[in-house]
Amino acid sequence: MSWLTSRILSVVWKPTVNVVRTRYHADKKRLVRRYGYQEKIWRGGLLPRSEGKALPIPEYRPDNPWSVRKALFGQNDYIDILGPGNLHPVKTLYNIPSWIRGVSGHEYHILLRKKKMWAKTGTPRLRPTKWKEIQKRLSFLYRKLNRKTKTGPSPI
Amino acid sequence: MASILINAIKRLHVSPQIRLCSLNSAAVTTTTANKTINILKKEWEFPPLYTKPREVWIENLDSVEEKKLGLIELHPMVYAAPPRIDIIHSNVIWQRKYRWVSWAHTKTRAEVRGGGKKPWPQKGLGRARHGSIRSPLFRGGGVAHGPRSGKSHFFMLPFHLRLHGLTTTLSAKLAQDDLHIVKDLELPTDESQYLVDLIENRNWGPSVLIIDDTDYAPRNITAATDNLLHVNIMPVYGLNVYSMLKHDTLVLTQAAAEKIEEKLLYHLHSDNRERMKKFKIDQV
């Protein structure tokens, strides 16, 4: 009889079966290191800077990439090719002082040229300290280059 | 069957591109199904030997919608040169460097005020020996090996590199569909919005460089571009590699395109030994 009821029960009601996967590593307990130790260092991120004035972070002001100076950068650089032919692009560098326009060289060479061109102007009389410093620097560089350093290999 | 094919071809508006051997500059009129196109054939002083001329549409500026007014032939030595990125790069570097002067300055121990007296005796105090309070070791002293004002980065790029810089950049712009040729710069209004709409409508880049062959552009276009910082007008002799790269689209007037072509062809075919000589500052 009991066999029959169990048979009928098995037909009428079937238990829901959950497949339980083995979750050994997920369920195992973590080893707590240094149990009972109170961490004294603040681990919550940056400390709020409450007292005193805030550090000066400059306001972000993006510069205009299309300002007239930047938009027209390089204009007339090929004027000797595209222009009438009697003008060199170096002659169009109006915003650079004439004594350094188109000059390449070390500090000594540029300073020599500057001194040579400024000698005819009012600079020696109007800016005597500046003029003296130029001459001082020139003599220092002259001694350094000619007496204390070796010259490079001869170009020829 | 054949008539169907002919009709299909007619519907495609394909015009036969026939290269005519004309001796002089001549406008050849090709008739298509419903309109005529002027093809400007040119006879150059230095005709292209191995490559074909490039044909470019001439566009209009007097309406927002693009109208094709004709075709112009451009010399392949100028507008179809090999795209040498290295030459373009060296040109840009040259343009940035040859005008660059660094004005950073520091004072040496000789230039800082004071510092003549020995700060304390050489011996007997248990302190380090010093001869001047303006020595680089001191706070407020001079700077050793600091920047000295007026440092120039000037150099002159060889003439032919600059020449080919122009041709290769123009060619790259044309190959990338960023070079447009317009008939003239006459606008119907002087409002900026008209130009903004026109640029938007024709898919020109946000920034446009307009080259004219005269020093004075028409009033309407100067007034319209006055507020648009990214739309700039230059004369032919102001054209340069840096600006062509900075602006997305290059718009040449027909006259400007021909003048650039003429100038560059002249230099490509002439004796440039004077220009190839070493740059000497007081002789330019």
Could you tell me the residue ranges of all domains in chain B?
Answer: 25-94+154-271
Q: How far is B265 from chain A (nearest CA, A)?
A: 10
Find the mean pLDDT for residues B28-34: 54
- For the cut 70, the answer to whether the pLDDT of residue B131 exceeds it is yes
Closest partner CB to A82 (pick from B99, B108, B239): B239
Q: How far apart are CA A69 and CA A101, in angstroms?
A: 18
Predicted confidence at residue B30, as pLDDT, reads 57
Structure confidence by residue, pLDDT tens digits, B78-130: 999 999 999 999 999 999 999 999 999 999 999 999 999 999 999 999 999 99
Predicted confidence at residue B14, as pLDDT, reads 43
Task: Pick out chain A residues at pLDDT < 70.
Answer: 1, 49, 154-156
CATH classification code of B25-94+154-271: 3.40.1370.10
Q: How far apart are CA B87 and CA B163, in angstroms?
A: 10
Predicted confidence at residue B209, as pLDDT, reads 97
B124: left (phi over 0), alpha (psi -120 to 50) or beta: left
- For the cut 80, the answer to whether the pLDDT of residue B29 exceeds it is no
Structure confidence by residue, pLDDT tens digits, B141-175: 999 999 998 999 999 999 999 999 999 999 999 99
Q: How far apart are CA B171 and CA A79, in angstroms?
A: 20
Q: How far is A103 from chain B (nearest CA, A)?
A: 6
Question: Strands B68-74 and B101-102: what pairing?
Answer: unpaired
Find the mean pLDDT for residues B43-57: 90
Q: What residue spans define the domains of chain A?
A: 66-95, 103-149
- The token pair that represents B249 in the structure block: 């689209």
Nearest to B181 by CA among B44, B25, B51, B71: B71
- For the cut 50, the answer to whether the pLDDT of residue B17 exceeds it is no
Q: Do A82 and B260 touch (CB under 8 A)?
A: yes
Residues of B near A (CB-CB distance < 8 A)? 95, 98-99, 101, 108, 110-111, 148, 150-156, 162-163, 166, 207, 229-230, 232, 234, 236-243, 246, 260, 263-264, 267, 275, 279, 281, 284
B249-253 sheet: strands from edge to edge: B26-31, B36-41, B68-74, B54-59, B179-182, B249-253, B208-212, B231-235
Q: Do B284 and A91 touch (CB under 8 A)?
A: yes
Query: CA torsion B201→B206→B212→B215, rounded to 10°?
Result: 130
Residue B60 CB partners (closer than 8 Å, separation 6+): B66, B67, B69, B182, B183
Strand ranges in B155-271 using DSSP code E only, listed in sequence order: 179-182, 208-212, 231-235, 249-253
Predicted confidence at residue B28, as pLDDT, reads 60
Predicted confidence at residue A7, as pLDDT, reads 83
Comparing A153 with B223, the larger pLDDT belongs to: B223
| Chain A residues touching B279 at Cβ < 8 A | 102
Predicted confidence at residue B121, as pLDDT, reads 95
DSSP B283: G
Nearest to B10 by CA among B32, B41, B37, B40: B32
| Chain A residues touching B255 at Cβ < 8 A | none
Residue type, B198: L
Interface test with B, best of A78, A79, A131 (most B CBs within 10 A): A78
Predicted confidence at residue B40, as pLDDT, reads 74
Q: Is A89 helix (H, G, I), strand (E, B) or coil?
A: helix
- For the cut 50, the answer to whether the pLDDT of residue B66 exceeds it is yes
Q: Do B163 and A81 touch (CB under 8 A)?
A: yes
DSSP secondary structure, B169-183, as one string: HHHHHHHTT-EEEES
